Amino acid sequence: MVIDPKRIREKMVREQIEGRGIKDQEVITAMLSVPRHLFVDEALQSQAYADHPLPIGYGQTISQPYIVALMSSLLDVKPGMKVLEIGTGSGYQAAVLAEMGADVFSVERVKPLYQRARKLFSQLGYHYIKTKLDDGTMGWPQKSPFDRILVTAGGPDVPTPLVDQLSDPGILIIPVGDSKRSQKLIKITKNDGSVEREDMGSVAFVDLVGKFGW
């Protein structure tokens, strides 16, 4: 069991986040606030702040804390921005973005995960996170455009609906790769009508499925 989650959380941020060079104060503050242990099964709570992903059921995982910090930092979120997340999963990443002041829209395709995350958001006071049960590779056209889009599952390529639903200027982060379980973290930047693509390093995510996924 987690004895003192606040102290363990501080240690996680100091060693795994700041210790690896993430300096983004908004990300650090958010990760110090979100009770990560409540986003995993009770039986796994003692490992909630460890330096690796954890299973959340249905073959899915909650990402390693460092990866959540890295992606949140690359997104360069400013308070009030509209952020679309694909792959709600446990809801942890969405809660971190909400703590950073984002207006979060999150899409999940596995119904029990969607339901569990919704319940948790309301229990923890994240009533303002909007959720949808759907194929997130199609985005959320009715709510578009989005200042930022974050995909937390790895697909064969960048789904075109997501690029279309990205604001100009806007940033989209997505793991992309042709072999499952190992991808490149891709950063798409839209600016003045042009779209730039950068490789931000290797990552390992669960599969993005759906029309524009695997």
Phi, psi at residue 203, to the nearest 5°? -145, 170
Q: How far apart are CA 148 and CA 29, in angstroms?
A: 20
Q: How far apart are CA 72 and CA 95, in angstroms?
A: 11
Nearest CB to ligand SAH, comparing residues 26 and 135: 135
- Our answer to whether residue 202 is catalytic in this structure is no
Nearest CB to ligand SAH, comparing residues 48 and 188: 48
Confirm or reject binding of residue 165 to ligand SAH (CB under 6 A).
Answer: no
The least CB distance from residue 212 to ligand SAH, in Å, is 8
Binding window for ligand SAH (CB under 6 A); candidates: 9-17, 76-84, 108-116, 179-187: 108-116
Phi, psi at residue 213, to the nearest 5°? -115, -155
CA distances from 59 to 45, 52, 87 (A): 18, 16, 13
Q: How far apart are CA 40 and CA 136, in angstroms?
A: 22
Nearest CB to ligand SAH, comparing residues 195 and 209: 209
The single residue of 33, 46, 63, 202 carrying the catalytic annotation is 63
The DSSP secondary-structure symbol of 147 reads E
Site residues for ligand SAH, 68-97, by CB under 6 A, read 86-87, 89-90, 92-93
Q: How far apart are CA 22 and CA 175, in angstroms?
A: 19
Binding window for ligand SAH (CB under 6 A); candidates: 69-77, 121-129, 130-138, 193-201: 130-138
What does DSSP say about strands 194-203 and 183-191: parallel, antiparallel, or unpaired?
antiparallel
Nearest CB to ligand SAH, comparing residues 128 and 193: 128
Residues 6+ apart with CB under 8 A from 3: none
| CA-CA-CA-CA dihedral for 210, 184, 147, 84, to nearest 10 | 40
- Quick note: the x/- pattern for ligand SAH over 175-214, rule CB under 6 A, is -------------------------------x-xxx--x-
Confirm or reject binding of residue 99 to ligand SAH (CB under 6 A).
Answer: no
Confirm or reject binding of residue 24 to ligand SAH (CB under 6 A).
Answer: no
**Which residues carry out catalysis?**
63
Binding site for ligand SAH (CB under 6 A): 60-63, 86-87, 89-90, 92-93, 107-110, 113, 135-137, 152-153, 206, 208-210, 213
